[in-house]
């Protein structure tokens, strides 16, 4: 760093710059009175095709792939750079104003579920799928699920922010979070050297939670950070990522709430995706 920052005695908010400057504020709550659209399916998902959002769309697609027709869902895009997450209707579902948020209207009384890990656990328990019923297998899955929830901020808000989104690049925060991101990959790599999936031999919600984050970086997100971080060194993570890459539900789930498919209301919507290469089971690395 060229300048040393001396914090004042009392912090005051200031324009931070960067790509999220227009939406970042130190306050919570709605900024615009606007309701959310609602479809007829049992589940209404309000999200975006970022890693935390993709967790849930892959989960829904895995449920449908397994034959749980009651898991039909409508997926509505929340454009976070435009501030949709601060609509009053969204804040009612998630007071934290982060995607994803879920409205479960499958029963007599609709209710909200927010935070991606909570949504995955809710759906797994509701359909008795991808989460073992008894310990120690159940505890192992929940441990790895919460490991991912706890590590994501270091990757996204830490490494990703300072490496790509910050208005200026400084070595200290990039080195700090690059080190932590490498450590997170090493934790997963050592585990996956012993087991096919994170919590054992079977796919679980722990894998669905971790895959969008580790997979995106492994494939070159954040301006080809895979090169910067030498992620090819993690061969067991690579094997695991590529196996999930090829799953039909993962292929579909990665498309929902993206430019390729802004909304999803039925399986037929996938037939409307113009770029059919997106359904290739072999994911392409991001451009340099």
Ordered by where they begin, the domains of the chain are 137-255 (1.20.1050.10)
Task: Give CA–CA dist 129/125, Å, rounded.
Answer: 7
Distance CA 122, CA 105 (A): 13
Rounded to whole angstroms, the Cα distance separating 149 from 9 reads: 33
DSSP for 52-117 reads HHHHHHHHHHHHHHTT-GGG-EEEEE--GGGTGGGBHHHHHH-TT--S-EEEE-SSSS-EEEESHH
Strand order in the sheet with 101-104: 73-77, 43-47, 101-104, 111-114
Q: What is the chain's percent helix, strand, coil content, to nearest 5?
A: 50, 10, 40
- Residue 16 makes CB contacts below 8 A (sequence gap 6+) with 24, 167
pLDDT by position in tens, the chain (length 288): 457 889 999 999 887 777 777 788 899 999 999 999 999 999 999 999 999 999 999 999 999 999 999 999 999 999 999 999 999 999 999 999 999 999 999 999 999 999 999 999 999 999 999 999 999 999 999 999 999 999 999 999 999 999 999 999 999 999 999 999 999 999 999 999 999 999 999 999 999 999 999 999 999 999 999 999 999 999 999 999 999 999 999 999 999 999 999 999 999 999 999 999 999 999 877 754
pTM, two decimal places: 0.96
Q: How far apart are alpha carbons 234 and 213 in whole angstroms?
A: 14
| 87 beta partners | 32
């Amino acid at each position: 760093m060229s300048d040393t920052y001396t914090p004042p005695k009392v912090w005051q908010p200031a324009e931070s710059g960067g790509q999220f400057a227009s939406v970042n504020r130190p306050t919570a709550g709605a900024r615009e009175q606007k309701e959310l659209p609602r479809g007829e399916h049992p589940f209404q998902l309000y999200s975006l095709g970022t890693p935390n959002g993709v967790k849930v769309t892959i989960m829904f697609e895995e449920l449908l792939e397994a034959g749980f027709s009651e898991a039909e869902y409508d997926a509505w895009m929340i454009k976070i750079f435009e501030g949709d997450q601060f609509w009053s209707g969204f804040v009612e579902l998630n007071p934290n104003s982060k995607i994803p948020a879920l409205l479960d209207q499958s029963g007599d009384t609709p209710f909200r579920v927010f935070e991606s890990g909570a949504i995955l656990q809710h759906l797994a328990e509701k359909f008795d799928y991808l989460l073992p019923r008894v310990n120690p297998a159940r505890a192992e899955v929940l441990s790895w699920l919460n490991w991912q929830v706890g590590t994501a901020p270091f990757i996204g808000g830490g490494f990703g922010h300072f490496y790509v989104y910050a208005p200026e690049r400084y070595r200290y925060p990039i080195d700090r979070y690059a080190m932590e991101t490498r450590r997170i990959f090493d934790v997963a790599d050592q585990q996956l050297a012993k087991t096919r999936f994170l919590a054992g031999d079977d796919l679980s919600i722990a894998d669905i939670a971790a895959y969008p984050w580790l997979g995106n970086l492994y494939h070159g997100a954040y301006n080809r950070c895979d090169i910067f971080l030498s992620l090819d060194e993690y061969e067991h993570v690579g094997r695991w990522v590529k196996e999930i890459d090829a799953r039909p539900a993962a292929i579909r789930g990665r498309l929902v709430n993206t430019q390729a498919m802004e909304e999803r209301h039925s399986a037929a919507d996938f037939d409307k995706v113009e770029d059919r290469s997106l359904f290739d089971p072999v994911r392409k690395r991001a451009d340099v």
